[in-house]
C-alpha cells in the first residue's frame, strides 16, 4: 500500500503520493479551498491510485484547516489521517521549550534532515517559504531549536504595504541574476529581496557553528529556495520536498511500531 503526504502551508497545500520512498505523484494548490474543489483536484490527479493508498499523513500550520482535511481524507480515501504532532513517536527527540508551539512543518523538516544523513551529521535545515526557518538537529537526534524570519514574499508585501511608493513584487517576477547594487528602484528591491536572505543565511549558519563549536551540514528547501540556492557561498544540499518526505518517514516509522 502507498502513503499520501499532505503539507498544508499558509499559502499553498502540497501533496505527494509515495510508494515506499519513491514519489509517484505530486499536487499543489492554494490553501483555503473548499472540500468540493479539493475533491475534484485530488481525484483528477491521483486517479487510479486512489484505492491503493493505505496511510495518509497530515502536517498543517493552519489549524482551521485540520478538520476540513480530516473530513476530506475520510471521504476520499476512507482513512483517518495521521496528524503530525510533537507528542507522537518520532525518530528524533524534540528538545525545545514549549513544544506545543512548534510548527509541524518544522518537525517534518527536522525528521527529514536527520534521516537524510542517517544520523551521522549535525544538520541545519533552512526552509524558504512564507517564513524562513532554520532548524538545528544534532546527530544524537536532538532537535534543539531554530530561527524564524520573514520569507521573501512576506518581506515583499511588507515593503509594499508600509511604504508610499515601493511596488509589490511577486516571487515569480524576481530575477535571480539581478545585480547586487541595483541601478534603479526596481532592481534595488529585487536585490534586497533575493540577496538579503542569502547573506542572512550564510551569517546564521556561521553563527550557529560558532555558538555550538561544531560543523553542520546544510539542507535548503521550500518554495523560494530555487531563487537563492545558487547564490549561497556555503555548501548546501537541496531538497525539493523536505516536509512531504518527512511526513512519509514519520508514517513508515509509526506503522513499523
Catalytic residue positions?
A: 105
- From 100, 98, 95, select the one nearest 110 (Cα to Cα): 95
- From 101, 98, 63, 54, select the one nearest 83 (Cα to Cα): 63
Q: Are strands 82-83 and 53-60 parallel, antiparallel or unpaired?
A: parallel
Give per-residue burial for 73-93: e unless 16+ CB within 10 Å, then b: beebbeeebbbbebeeebbbe
**What are the helix (H) ranges across the chain?**
35-46, 63-77, 104-116, 152-161, 185-212, 225-228, 242-255
Amino acid at each position: 500500500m502507498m502513503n499520501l503526504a499532505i503539507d498544508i502551508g499558509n499559502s499553498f497545500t502540497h501533496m505527494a503520493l509515495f510508494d515506499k520512498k519513491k514519489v509517484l505523484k505530486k499536487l499543489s494548490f492554494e490553501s483555503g479551498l473548499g472540500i468540493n474543489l479539493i475533491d475534484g483536484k485530488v481525484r483528477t490527479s491521483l486517479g487510479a491510485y486512489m484505492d491503493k493508498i493505505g496511510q495518509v499523513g497530515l502536517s498543517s500550520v493552519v489549524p482551521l484547516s485540520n478538520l476540513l482535511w480530516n473530513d476530506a481524507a475520510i471521504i476520499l480515501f476512507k482513512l483517518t489521517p495521521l496528524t503530525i504532532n510533537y507528542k507522537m513517536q518520532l525518530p528524533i527527540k524534540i528538545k525545545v521549550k514549549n513544544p506545543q508551539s512548534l510548527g509541524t512543518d518544522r518537525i517534518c523538516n527536522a525528521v527529514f534532515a536527520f534521516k537524510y544523513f542517517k544520523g551521522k551529521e549535525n544538520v541545519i535545515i533552512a526552509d524558504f517559504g512564507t517564513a524562513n526557518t532554520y532548524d538545528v538537529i544534532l546527530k544524537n537526534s536532538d532537535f534543539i531549536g531554530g530561527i524564524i524570519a520573514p520569507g521573501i514574499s512576506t518581506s515583499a508585501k511588507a515593503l509594499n504595504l508600509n511604504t508610499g511608493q515601493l511596488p509589490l513584487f511577486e516571487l515569480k517576477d524576481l530575477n535571480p541574476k539581478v545585480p547586487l547594487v541595483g541601478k534603479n528602484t526596481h532592481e534595488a528591491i529585487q536585490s534586497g529581496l533575493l540577496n538579503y536572505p542569502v547573506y542572512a543565511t550564510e551569517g546564521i549558519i556561521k553563527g550557529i557553528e560558532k555558538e555550538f563549536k561544531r560543523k553542520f551540514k546544510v539542507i535548503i528547501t521550500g518554495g523560494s529556495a530555487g531563487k537563492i540556492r545558487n547564490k549561497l557561498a556555503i555548501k548546501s544540499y537541496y531538497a525539493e520536498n523536505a516536509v512531504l518526505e518527512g511526513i512519509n518517514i514519520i508514517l513508515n516509522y509509526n506503522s513499523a511500531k
